[in-house]
Amino acid sequence: MAAGLTRRRFLSLAGVAAACVGTSGWATAKPPVPVTWRGQALGAEADLTLYHPDPDEAAAIIEGALGEVARLERLFSLYRSDSALSALNRDGSLTDPPREFLDLLRQAQAISALSGGAFDVTVQPLWSLYASHFAKPGADPAGPSPALVSGARARVGWQGIDLSPRRVALRDGMAVTLNGIAQGFITDAVTDYLAARGITATLVNMGEYRALGSHPDGRPWHLGIPHPADPARLLASLDLRGRAASTSAGLGTAFDAQGRFHHLFEPSSGRPASAWASVTVVAPTATLADALSTAIAAAPPDRAAGILRAGGGLEAWLLGWDRKVTRRSLGNDPA
């Protein structure tokens, strides 16, 4: 997936992303200095800054974290021909799947079940249909025909994935995309990698955000959510201490110039989701925030609170097409 405005995420950091080693590891003669990396993870804009008294050690830690990113991209990338995901889509099955690949698919299946199928990693046939339709010169602005949509939709259904420790298999004609959950998984993996190496305060951005501890100066990590149609405006500023956040917005990747057809699909209809302009979810992990924001974006509006609660999310910020913002949380929703 391309970076920047072609992505479905619109989170931006309000403040400086920084990470520190535990205070017991600091050399009093050397104040911590920032060491920053910026790049991409699964095609998403990503960045990481470590505040560390030893710049060389900080650089080595970042290099190790990026090694984890590269390793996981070889599993989850839709665009690498040598990835485990590409092999599954090409061959229809994958023998002896890597542990993380199986784990992520199991988490995806759980979110599919609790969301009533609103989250579904098998929507790739729909993506391919719309992308190929609008790539043609003189494409019908009304989109693919109902018959073609129906045909693609017949190949969508999370129950068609057969999972076992030794094999993953797809029903004939199916294909999987992990773009609605894998960036969160990689964000969690990098956060865990840093924590295991003594980093106690960090805000990781590997396409999604997850905070570890508080800011090095003691204040909370704050994340600003820009309005997708007006990036100069913030929908909210979130306190992310020990939490993760993800935003899903159809405007992020549109197939047509008018933005009527985008990459967030309602599996039940085969059409682009239209319930919300954007959905931001705060959850204990980035994997969960990523998947729940996608599920809520693709579900009917009256199911947002139920999906958030069932999935273990903490709060959701829902932007309607009328530009009104609704907040849902486990603390302010009726049982």
Q: Which residues are annotated as a binding site?
A: 180, 290, 294
Which of 15, 11, 25 has the alpha carbon at shortest distance from 200?
A: 25
Q: What is 158-209 written as a DSSP string?
A: GGGEEEETTEEEE-TT-----TTTHHHHHHHHHHHHHHHTTEEEEEEESSSE
Annotated binding site for Mg(2+): 180, 290, 294
The set of residues, in sequence order, having a beta carbon less than 8 Å from that of 64 and lying 6+ positions away, is: 193, 197
Handedness of CA 287, 288, 293, 297 (dihedral sign): positive
Q: How many Å from the N-terminal Cα to the C-terminal Cα in the chain?
A: 38
Which of 289, 291, 279, 282 has the alpha carbon at shortest distance from 319?
A: 279
Report phi then psi at 134, rounded to 5. -80, -10
With contact defined as beta carbons under 8 Å apart, do 261 and 254 qualify? yes
Distance CA 261, CA 243 (A): 32
Distance CA 39, CA 15 (A): 19
Query: Which stretch of DSSP H or E encloses residue 299?
Result: none
**For helices 286-298 and 182-196, angle between their N-to-C axes, nearest 10 degrees:** 160
Distance CA 111, CA 104 (A): 11
Helix then strand then coil, % of the chain, to nearest 5: 35, 25, 40
Distance CA 67, CA 301 (A): 40
